[in-house]
Amino acid sequence: MEEPQHRVRALHTADTITVYQAYPPEIGGPAVRKGRFPTSWKRDRMTWVKPSFLWMMYRCGWGTKAGQETVLAVEISRDGFAWALRNACLSHYVRGLHADQADWKRQLRQAPTRVQWDPERDLRLAPLPYRSFQLGLAGEAATRYADEWIVGIEDVTPLAEQVHTLVRAGERDRAAELLPAERPYPLTEDVLAPLRA
């Protein structure tokens, strides 16, 4: 079955969805120990969360990039995720979806969350022909994320290293078996339609 161009795929339960971020150890370590981001975590900056493990691996270079050595799996409430989607705007202008560029810019300024679609990645981190969903959280959304939505934080850096080692050894089938079980996340058309690029 062909994968649709725009679909949210994630590890999720009846109550939560898992997103990924990568931080330096001085932020990632305390976040895992306390289940919350430390005071050094910048609430006044936009933070991007990614439901795709492999897109996160592409972004952080399997946890080898400076400042992204600690890969976190952040389990958040589905209610929080729904709030983020209801209050989101696409990160770029799309003719026909927005009345005009001025309308899109106004929406972007007012929206506490942004949606971006980038090519999904395979185990070699090569682009796939369909898109991976990312969510940018700023202002009220970043505060809600940090203070209300987080259910748990897990350090998945060892998993990233293990999968990367297998990929480099040419054992892609074994590597694939270790990947998080990301399934289509249930979203109604009325939620997804205004967020398609």
Q: How many helices (H) and strands (E) does the chain have?
A: 8, 9
The pLDDT value recorded for residue 184 is: 95
pLDDT tens across 127-183, in order?
999 999 999 999 999 999 999 999 999 999 999 999 999 999 999 999 999 999 999
Confidence of residue 1 (pLDDT cuts 50, 70, 90): low
Tell me the CA distances in angstroms from 105 to 78, 79, 82, 110, 172, one per residue in order.
Answer: 28, 27, 23, 9, 43
Q: In this predicted model, what pLDDT tens digit does every residue of 64-108 receive, in sequence order?
A: 999 999 999 999 999 999 999 999 999 888 887 778 888 888 888
Neighbours of 16 (CB within 10 A): 21
